[in-house]
Structure 1
Amino acid sequence: MNEFRQYFEDNPEIFTALVAAIAIVGGLVGSIIGAKIQANGGRDQAAAAREAAKIAAEAQRVSALWTARQIQLAELLRSANTLIEMCDRMWLDGGEELAGEVTAAGAAVSSRWNEARLIVTENVAQAAGELASVAMAVEGDAQLFAPIMHARNALDRLLSEQVGLAEEVGSILAMNDEGDNRLRALRNVVPSLTEEQLRTVIAYHGVPDGSLREGTRIVRQDFNEALIVLVREAREMLRAQDDVAPAVPEQRRRWWRAAPAVTPLRRPAS
């Protein structure tokens, strides 16, 4: 050791060169280590950015799907309720113009169901299909039976206003006629009724009003039950009882970011 020391004391220029070389090598090693650390940190940041972008995209997709489902189902329910309300009006008011509006409302229900079933779950699609089917059955009953009731009501008003007219109309309706004799006879005694009303009165003569109303009552009950089922299934799909928020995957720590293990201190032996 003393010989090395004496050598460097005798050759100071060699010692200076050696120190400079050590400094250069140390600087290079430090730069390499620093660059490696920086590169690892950059990769970590890039991976974190990619993961955050993936989470954000998934959250956006879930949010958009939830909104689309909610809107489509709300439109289906709205159109179905509108159809039912128009059918009720048809029973009260009637008329060809209202009948056309009811037909358009029924087509809207069918269209809304076709749109909704593309994005909802299987259970909700089935419940929505049942609701649409029953709503259109209500429409069918209104289109078929409401005109019958209106024709009968128009005839009953005339019969109540003219004495003896009921017996004459009853005799005409009781005729065994395979042609249009009854139609011509009725047209002569009740000319204020339309051709369609006269044909309707003849075609459904003898069918009690109660049987017409009973079928309508049953399909209306089916509609209410289908509505309850759809709302229940839709609320479950939309998680109406929860605070809806996209699920964020658990973040995994990188090994260089892992929390250091804590070594318990040992009390020195006495």
Structure 2
Amino acid sequence: MEYFEDNPEIFAALVAAIAILGGLLGSVIGARIQANGGRDQAAAAREAAQIAAEAQRVAALWTVRQVQVAELIRTANALIEMCDRLWLAGGDELAGQLTAASAAVSSRWNEVRLIVTEKVEEAAGELARSAIAVEENSQQNAPVIHARNHLARIVGDDQNVANEIAEIVAADEDAQDRSRALCNIIPGLSEEHAYHYVAFHRISSMGIMQRTNRVRHDFNEALSALVREAREMLRAQDDVAPAPATQRRRWRHRSALLS
């Protein structure tokens, strides 16, 4: 201390040097802290962006799945409703519409299978197959029932005509020839009704109804299974859509900032 008292200019220079070194050290430490803080902020921003992007992807996928499955169900139900109308009314125009509606179900099924889970894919495929089975059964058997009902109304209780019809149906001839012969003895009978009556006379009406009830039951079962699997996939039991993962706060020890 006496040395510095005797040499105040040296003491002043030393104090100034210490102040400069302290300022430099403080600047280095401050810059280090600022740099680390900037890296943390950038990393946090990247993590937040990734979380937001993933949440957006999940939400978009959920929406597409929900829309596509619902549309498959809608087209399948529309096909079944048209089949019911065919049994009630019949007609070539409605039959053509059924073919188009069946193709729409197949198209929707191919779209659904690309984006859903494996269980929903299987359930959706079974729904499409069962709906098409209902359509095919309706196209084949509804005209037969219509023909039998129409012929029964024309013939009534005339047993002689009924015997003639039985002979024509049992004849060993081509179905087209037998249907034309049937039209010759029954005025007002269309060739379409005559053909369906003759060509499928071996199939009982009871057998047709049993087949129809079976394919319709299979469709209802497939529809219930798809709804059940789709609700599981879409987490329909949850009150809200699943929230994205919570962003973790980045706490770092002060000593790490200084390292």
Q: Same fold (TM over 0.5)?
A: yes
**Counterparts of residues 1-270 of structure 1 (less than 5 Å):** 5-160=1-156, 165-178=161-174, 181-242=177-238, 243-248=240-245, 251=248, 253-256=250-253
Distance 1:67 1:178, change over 3 A: closer
Gaps of 5+ in 2: none
Distance 2:2 2:254 in 1: 49
CA contact (8 A) 1:63 1:246 kept: no
CA contact (8 A) 1:117 1:125 kept: yes
Distance 2:216 2:88 in 1: 16
Deviation at 1:180, TM superposition (A): 5.3
State the 4+ residue runs in structure 1 displaced beyond 6 angstroms: none
Q: Which residue type is aligned with residue 191 of structure 2?
A: E
Deviation at 1:228, TM superposition (A): 1.2
**SS of aligned partner of 1:23:** helix
Distance 1:42 1:179 in 2: 88
CA contact (8 A) 2:171 2:178 kept: yes
Per-residue Cα deviation, 1:180-219 (whole angstroms, up to 9, x for no partner):
5533321212242332222111112243211111101101
Distance 1:10 1:16 in 2: 12
**SS of aligned partner of 2:253:** helix
Distance 1:63 1:124, change over 3 A: same
Higher RCO (C-alpha 8 Å, min separation 6): 2
Higher helix share: 2
Distance 2:224 2:175 in 1: 49
Per-residue Cα deviation, 1:10-36 (whole angstroms, up to 9, x for no partner):
322222222211111111111111111
CA contact (8 A) 2:175 2:199 kept: no
- Equivalent residues, number: 254
Q: Which residue type is aligned with residue 255 of structure 1?
A: R
Q: Which has the larger radius of gyration?
A: 1
Distance 1:227 1:58 in 2: 32
Give me the TM-score of the superposition, normalised by structure 2.
Answer: 0.90
Partner of 1:268: none
Distance 1:179 1:140 in 2: 21
Distance 1:32 1:235 in 2: 59
- Identity among equivalent positions (%) equals 61
Distance 2:40 2:197 in 1: 84
97-106 or 5-14: bigger deviation: 5-14
Per-residue Cα deviation, 1:22-66 (whole angstroms, up to 9, x for no partner):
111111111111111111111111111111111111111111111
Per-residue Cα deviation, 1:98-150 (whole angstroms, up to 9, x for no partner):
01111111111111111111111111111111111111000000010011111
